[in-house]
Structure 1
Amino acid sequence: MKAFGNVRTGAQFLGMEHACHPRKWFDVRRRSLQPNEVSMTALSFSRSIRAGHEERISTMLATASRLRSHGLIHRTAEDRRLDGRTLRLDGQQVLNFASCSYLGLEKDARLKRGACEAVERFGVQFSSSRAYVSAPLYAEYEGLLSRMVGGARVIVTQTTSLGHMAALPVLVGENDAVLFDLQVHNSVQAVLPTLRSIGAHCEVVPHGRLDRVAHRARALARRHERVFFLCDGVYSMHGDVIDTGQLYALLEDNPRLFAYVDDSHGVAWKGRHGAGVVLGERAIHPNMVVTLGLSKGFAGAGAAFVFPDPELADRVFTCGSTLIFSGPLQPAQLGAGIEAAKICLSDELPALQEGLQSLIEEFDGAALDAGLLHAAQLPSPIRFIEIGDEDDAVQAGAALKAAGYFVNVAVFPAVPRRRAGLRIMINCHHTKTDVRELVREIARVAPSGRLRRDSTPTPAGMGELDEAAEG
């Protein structure tokens, strides 16, 4: 077996002593408490958590009510057929800039035919945990995905979120430390309580500050066996992209640092064979696990977890809770995914990627001319126009919808307070005219007198939240 990170084997990466053991819900290694201390501490802690939780729920309900009243969330499309470019809402046809199907493959005839043929061969359902038996198409699917990432071992999970729940508690041990980017996806952060419950130290770092990661990783490595850094390849709200070269340099510099990268928004539209912003440019690092979301630009379902060696993949497949106790992808999803992988492996993909890039450049050029952006951004298809005030952002989103454009309105808690804005996804169904006219409408409806700019965080981070993370 090859060495893992020049320090430990792939099995050791897992923390063999705990890989398949039940997790403890509380860290019991601290000082023993007296009975009255236990009850008072538990009561105080419970009240604190409950108050914060209730406040968050109340805020979310109030925000949702406001957005819902303007027809901006919890909608159901009224179309009898979808073309990928437009939606019918409230009897009105609107251009859809809220889809993450960046290459427009969801309408490709090959994917639809693949789904139908899979149903004809295997039925609409294969109802068995993969711990016992997988549907026949899984082997072909994982094999094609492995080719996309240069031959690394791939495990397909039902969703990205369920995959994180399976992988992270198996990878991270009680003597490890975890650093996570402030803006790493919620599906990654949702697993942090489980990691804390097994004894792992978890700590936030300011967004985009890989220099801070390097500093904290060196410090934590003195007290912990390994240090994991959890991050995104493409950050889903603002569309900024991780500095892959700097990330690999950090891993080379610190052999006890391990990267866990969620590249869900980078798949298909970026990199060789559509392998994303990380694996589309270079081979997987021995101290790295990468997640490729298959339900966005790839136009499939589930997620591909990419591992640096087969033993590591087998451990996660064997011990990951949601791979044991949750159902699999169904035949239609597998059939469509196989066809999407074939497209990514074909000579056709570069032209699709270039077509999307030309639309992104069209948006940026028009937005620069309109004063909506200060400078051209990195080449992801996600754009965020910051408006600031939550009510102003809601009004702008409603005005755009009335004008025939549907975009995502992002407000607290999805973004920091007073950093509300319009999240826009560009895809290959759009035309250059669509993009230019959207920019013109945004410039018209954005509140006058307010600085309108892109919200890609600067290297120094994101103001008040970065200050909190530094503390």
Structure 2
Amino acid sequence: MADPLAWIPEQLELLESLERRRSIHIRATQQGPSVDWKERELLNFSSNDYLNLAADPRLEAAACEAIQREGWGSGASPLITGRGQNQASLEVALAQFEATEAALTFASGFAANAGVIDALADRGDVILSDEKNHASIIDGTRLSKATVRVYPHRDLQYLENLLKQCSTFRRRLIVTDTLFSMDGDIAPLPELADLAEAYDAMLMVDEAHATGVFGENGRGLCEQFDVEDRVSIRVGTFSKALGGHGGFVVGSEPLIHWLVNRCRPYIFSTAPPAANAGAMLAALKIVHDEPQRRTDLLAKAKWLRGKLREIGWSLGDSESQIIPVIVGTENLAMTLSAQLHEMGMMVPGIRPPSVPDGECLLRISLSCGHTQQHLDTLVEALTELRLG
């Protein structure tokens, strides 16, 4: 009998020939700003653990306590028997932290974005999405039966023209990242809120990379720009600054009740384990009690961006802890990443399909756990590579 998957090896060979075949590696430990990788300890400039909480003993203790109280697995989806006390407590704490009426937790940030978009927009509706939105948003628009219009990155005039053309649709949904994961730049949130109000559109934002980092209380860029009350739907994740796993949505009580009834990834996924909810309750408390973590992180990021621009590297419009060193070609990005690895640093090269052709880059991701010596080491290495 012919192998129905016989086409896969040929396609893998094609990826190999294009130098785009990816493989999975195993890290030993990850403690703060360092990582044990292939029997070497490297300075880790690749993690999204922005507040250095992933290995915080307080999160570990909270997770262990939750396991002792509720066990490990949740056993079922939230609407069956899977939602435990820790998850319920976390959703209450999230709503308080985010200053919203209600919150809902998901197995992943990807599931939250994809499911919420599908639950909000259907046939007869239109979704207007920034071209550099995360893959979870893109897949959510594809899952929806709504018409999709993609606008050029942060191009408000183009978006307004689209909104004018879309007046006949039943509902309009504008969706954007607040902090873009590859470019480190920021969405024009006040202007987007203006357009949403002017054209009677829902505005949905993904604060994944901004939660815990921006805003007086660490709620993200909606807080920083004072548009929280003007944004209909806010999505976030536990897996970055909060050092955990899973996603969440915050907003009005009617929104959350609608998602409970219509969001398929929530309805048909096993609830996250109590251990994660316990750890995330601890993380929210740390974000509230230790604002110096985010102020320190942003100060370090500002310093590093200034130094790298002085050297002559192109960083685009980055204004955050995500710093792209834009080099253009795939070969150069991967070569520089390998050279930095040999110099004791993990700085990933980013290439298609994660970025468009010709926009390959090194993605530097900072943590408040990085010391000034760590930053100096990175600057020295990139200076050497720039001049060499």
TM-score (norm 1): 0.76
Q: Which residue of 2 aligns with 1:77?
A: 27
1:353 aligned to which of 272, 294, 305: 294
Paired with 2:131 and 2:373, the residues of 1 have a C-alpha distance of 36
Query: Are the aligned partners of 1:233 and 1:266 in contact in 2 as well (CA < 8 Å)?
Result: yes
**Residue 266 of structure 1 pairs with residue 210 of structure 2:** yes
What SS does the aligned partner of 2:282 have? helix
Q: Partners of 2:355 and 2:206 in 1: how far apart? A: 19
Is residue 274 of structure 2 the alignment partner of residue 331 of structure 1?
yes
Work out whether residues 166 and 323 of structure 1, in 8 Å CA contact, stay in contact via their aligned partners in 2. Answer: yes
Q: Which amino acid aligns with 1:313?
A: I
Q: Which amino acid aligns with 1:368?
A: R
Asked if structure 2 preserves the Cα contact closer than 8 Å seen for 1:167 and 1:320, the reply is yes
State the identity %. Answer: 24
Q: 1:331 to 1:182 in 2, by over 3 A?
A: same
Report the equivalent of 1:226. 171
Q: 1:433 to 1:129 in 2, by over 3 A?
A: same
Aligned counterpart in structure 1 of residue 147 of structure 2, from 189, 201, 217 = 201
Q: Tell me if structure 2 keeps the 8 A contact 1:130–1:323.
A: yes
Aligned length: 379
Name the CA distance, whole Å, in 2 between partners of 1:272 and 1:64.
Answer: 46
Partner of 2:160: 214
Which structure has the greater CA radius of gyration? 1
- What pairs up with 1:16-415 in 2 under 5 angstroms? 61-62=15-16, 74-79=24-29, 82-133=30-81, 134-195=83-144, 198=145, 200-221=146-167, 223-254=168-199, 256-282=200-226, 284-285=228-229, 288-307=232-251, 309-346=252-289, 348-349=290-291, 351-373=292-314, 378-415=318-355
Q: Secondary structure at the match of 2:173?
A: strand
CA contact (8 A) 1:131 1:318 kept: no
Shift of 1:193: 2.4
Cα pair 2:190 2:227 within 8 Å, conserved: no
Paired position in structure 2 for 1:4: none
Structure 2 SS opposite 1:212: helix
On the 8 A contact 1:387/1:446 being kept in 2, the answer is: no
Question: What is residue 452 of structure 1 aligned with on the other side?
Answer: none
Shift in CA distance, 63/270, structure 1 to aligned 2, threshold 3 Å: farther
* 1:436-455 matches, cutoff 5 A: 436-446=376-386
Q: What whole-Å deviation, never above 9, does each CA across 1:151-200 have from its counterpart, x for those lacking one?
A: 332111111111223222221132111111111100111122222xx3x2
Instruction: Tell me whether 90-99 or 58-67 shows the greater mean CA deviation.
Output: 58-67
Question: AA paired with 1:250?
Answer: L
Residue pair 1:152, 1:284 contacting (<8 A) in 2 also: no
Classify the secondary structure of the residue corresponding to 2:166.
Answer: helix
Aligned residue for 1:191, secondary structure, equals helix
Q: State the shift of 1:67 in Å.
A: 6.7
Is the CA contact 1:248–1:285 (under 8 Å) kept in the aligned structure 2? no
Q: CA deviation at 1:130?
A: 0.6
User: 1:7-39 deviations in whole A, cap 9, x for unaligned?
Assistant: xxxxxxxxxxxxxxxxxxxxxxxxxxxxxxxxx
Aligned partners of 1:108, 1:294: CA distance in 2, in Å? 14
* Structure 1 letter corresponding to 2:89: E
Query: Quick check: 278-287 or 377-386, which moved more?
Result: 278-287
Structure-to-structure mapping, 1:458-469, within 5 angstroms: none
CA positional deviation for 1:431: 0.9
State the Cα deviation string for residues 57-85 of structure 1 (Å, max 9, x = none).
669833885676xxxx6221134xx3222
Matching residue of 2:3: none
Q: For 2:364 and 2:103, how far apart are their aligned partners in 1?
A: 31
Q: Aligned partners of 1:446, 1:259: CA distance in 2, in Å? A: 42
Q: Which residue of 1 aligns with 2:5?
A: none
The answer as to whether partners of 2:66 and 2:275 remain within 8 angstroms in 1 is yes
| CA spacing shift, 1:165–1:271, aligned 2, 3 Å | same
Between the aligned partners of 1:317 and 1:409, the Cα distance in structure 2 is: 39
Q: What is the CA RMSD across the aligned residues, in angstroms?
A: 2.3
Q: Is the 8 A contact 1:157 1:163 kept in 2?
A: yes
Give the 3-state SS of the residue equivalent to 1:178 in structure 2: strand
| Contact 1:234 1:266 (8 Å CA) reproduced | yes
Q: Can you give the 5+ residue segments of structure 2 that lack an aligned partner in the other structure?
A: 1-7
CA offsets, 1:293-313, max 9 Å, x none?
111011122112012x21121
Letter in 2 for 1:214: E
CA shift, 1:412, in A, is 1.5
* Partner secondary structure for residue 110 of structure 1: helix
User: Does the 8 Å CA contact 1:396/1:446 hold for their aligned counterparts?
Assistant: no
For residues 230 and 60 of structure 1, the distance between their equivalents in structure 2, rounded to whole angstroms, comes to 35
Deviations 1:350-377 (A, max 9, x none): x1111111211221222122111478x5
**Alignment partners' CA distance in 1, 2:385 and 2:65:** 47
- 1:432 corresponds to which residue? 372
TM-score by length of 2: 0.91
2:130–2:152 Cα contact (<8 Å) kept: yes
Give the Cα–Cα distance (whole angstroms) in 2 for the partners of residues 220 and 83 of structure 1: 50
1: distance between equivalents of 2:173 and 2:56?
39
SS at match of 1:423: strand
Question: What is the deviation of 1:218?
Answer: 1.8
Gaps of 5+ in 1: 1-53, 449-471
**Counterpart of 2:69 in structure 1: which amino acid?**
R
What amino acid maps onto 2:151 in structure 1? V
1:259-300 deviation line (CA, Å, top 9, x unaligned)? 111111111111133211114543534562110111101112
- Counterparts of 2:120 and 2:21, CA distance in 1: 39
Measured after TM superposition, the shift of residue 444 of structure 1 is 2.2
- Distance in structure 2 (CA, Å) of the matches to 1:64 and 1:314: 47
CA displacement at 1:398 relative to structure 2:
0.5
Distance 2:381 2:369 in 1: 19
